[in-house]
Structure 1
Amino acid sequence: MTFSIAGYCAETGQIGYALATSSIAAGGRVAFAHWGVGVVLTQARTDPRLGPQGLALLRNGHDAGETVASLVASSPDRDWRQLAVLDREGIGAFHTGQRVSAPADAITAKHCVAAGNWVQDETVVAAMISGFEQDPFLPLAERLLRAIEDAVAAGGELDPLRSAALGVHGRNGFAMVDLRIDRSDEPVADLREAWKEWEPIMPGYIERALSPATAPATEDLEGHSKK
């Protein structure tokens, strides 16, 4: 019972995802990503083992379609799984098992793939694609967040949402954005607030990883004393 989207930015090479669900702390179970490799989303009756397996297949040169086919073929419980994969070229593929809770749908488009199950109707998944494509010049994280906000506006999930997540990976080899709302009555709205706080200080924290001697101090980034 989740709706999610994976996206790619051709200009920056960044990859990322956004998701929301009625389950607690889904950000740690559903989405798996690595720059230069791709994104794997595993949902419905989620099997988190499929995430690392999918990334390994992508890393070894398989495209999105081949990766989904291999994951489905190797999973005896494939009928319970919904998968979406985006490869390093921004090409997507998906699988929705026969026992995944309906309404369920998945769509691929240019540089993105979206999937949802136990959603209001199929327009929820289409709304994610539309939200992602609306302004291709925005930062990838903003495009992904708008996608799931539009999914909520289209009706979202049939059960009340409880958690949401937003992740973006770039050329530095670590997550630029890794925001998770693990338990909330308004997780997508809270994710928006977290992104508003993180976006302006993100470059400083990236610099702290790459060049700590020249990076800004914590109090300069967040306005509080260094611990």
Structure 2
Amino acid sequence: MTFSISARCAATGRFGIAVSSSSPAVAARCAHARAGIGVVSTQNITDPTLGPKGLDLLASGLSPDEVLARFAQEAPFFDYRQVVVLGRQGPAAGHSGAKTLGTHAIAHGRDVAAAGNLLASTDVPAAMVAAFEALPEADLGDRLVAAMQAGVAAGGEAGPVHSAGLLIVDTVAWPVADLRIDWSEGDVMAELAALWALWKPQMDAYVTRALDPTTAPSYGVPGDR
């Protein structure tokens, strides 16, 4: 029902995740990231509590592999979960439980991992990682969107995709990008790419306005002088 890519940007320290699914509002359940700490993707038969728990464990000093080992010991029904954990150092760790649905796979690269279930092909995550790694100098958001588009081109899910999301954290306490297509009958990945293209040039200005409105650019809305 879901495929996703989790990554960090070595140049900026940002973490991000992009995710899509045939079910509604996938990013609300599956995408979790914390500035300076890492990113957790929890999907398949999703347990949303694993996201905050995994980030807390990363913050405590555990490695991604140690986080998954803790989940295997303590998380109920972990055989139903597909999880990727990526922190500040070392490679990502991935888990596909024995009850993961349909064709599923996880692919790893440097600073990145992609995972999916109910896929058209086990090649989908590898195609996503390859697309991400092919743009080493690009903005993290651009790389994540390109990876998702590559996942679709490689076959994507076995069924239609109806929701998608893009979550990026930087140095502030809130996400600098939290973009969602919660339900669409159209080309969801094109809609997500268009939303990112709209948000990207404004993203830094919104951070500046939050931190110090006196130094922010004009708001660019009717009535602003």
TM range (shorter): over 0.9
Matched, 1:98 2:102: no
**Partner deviation per Cα, 1:1-40 (whole Å, 9 max, x = no partner):** 1000110111111111101110100111001100111101
* Residue equivalent to 2:190: 189
CA distance in 2, matches of 1:83, 1:10: 22
- Three-state SS of the structure 1 residue aligned to 2:3 is strand
Q: 1:189 to 1:225 in 2, by over 3 A?
A: farther
Letter in 2 for 1:218: Y
Determine if contact 2:84/2:115 at 8 Å carries over to the other structure. Answer: yes
Letter in 2 for 1:97: G
**Partner deviation per Cα, 1:144-195 (whole Å, 9 max, x = no partner):** 1111110001110011101000111111232111101100122211101101
Determine if contact 2:108/2:126 at 8 Å carries over to the other structure. Answer: no
TM-score by length of 2: 0.96
* Residue equivalent to 1:84: 84
Matched, 1:162 2:162: yes
**Partner deviation per Cα, 1:33-53 (whole Å, 9 max, x = no partner):** 001111011000000011111
Displacement of 1:225 after TM fit? 4.0
Determine if contact 1:165/1:180 at 8 Å carries over to the other structure. Answer: yes
How many percent identity over aligned positions?
41
TM-score by length of 1: 0.95
Q: Show the 5 A alignment for 1:64-213.
A: 64-89=64-89, 91-185=91-185, 186-213=187-214
Determine if contact 2:120/2:156 at 8 Å carries over to the other structure. Answer: yes
Q: 1:225 to 1:154 in 2, by over 3 A?
A: farther
Determine if contact 2:164/2:180 at 8 Å carries over to the other structure. Answer: yes
Determine if contact 1:218/1:225 at 8 Å carries over to the other structure. Answer: no
Gaps of 5+ in 1: none
* Number of residues of Structure 1 aligned to a counterpart in Structure 2: 223
CA distance in 2, matches of 1:191, 1:225: 29
CA RMSD of aligned residues (A): 1.2
Displacement of 1:90 after TM fit? 5.4
- Three-state SS of the structure 2 residue aligned to 1:166 is strand
**Partner deviation per Cα, 1:186-211 (whole Å, 9 max, x = no partner):** 22111011011111111211110111
